[in-house]
Amino acid sequence: MTRGNQRDSDRAKAQKKLQGAKSKNTMSGTEFQKQKEDAALIMREKQRKADEKKAAEAASGKKK
């Protein structure tokens, strides 16, 4: 009957783990929108830098 005890202990462990996890979004709509805009701004900046680097490499490659 040790199997039943193991099952119960595993179930209790899983419940404890789920309780510790964040269950839902606590940000308001405006906070969430601001976070999305900030992330988009960062990604646009990264893309701009990558495009500049690619253009510089292409220009230097053509001069050789």
**Alpha carbons 27 and 19: distance in angstroms, whole number:** 19
Which helix (H) or strand (E) segment holds residue 42: the answer is helix 29-63
pLDDT tens digit sequence for 9-62: 999 999 888 887 766 777 888 988 999 999 999 999 999 999 999 999 988 886
This prediction's pTM: 0.50
Residue pair 35/42 in contact (Cβ under 8 Å)? The answer is: no
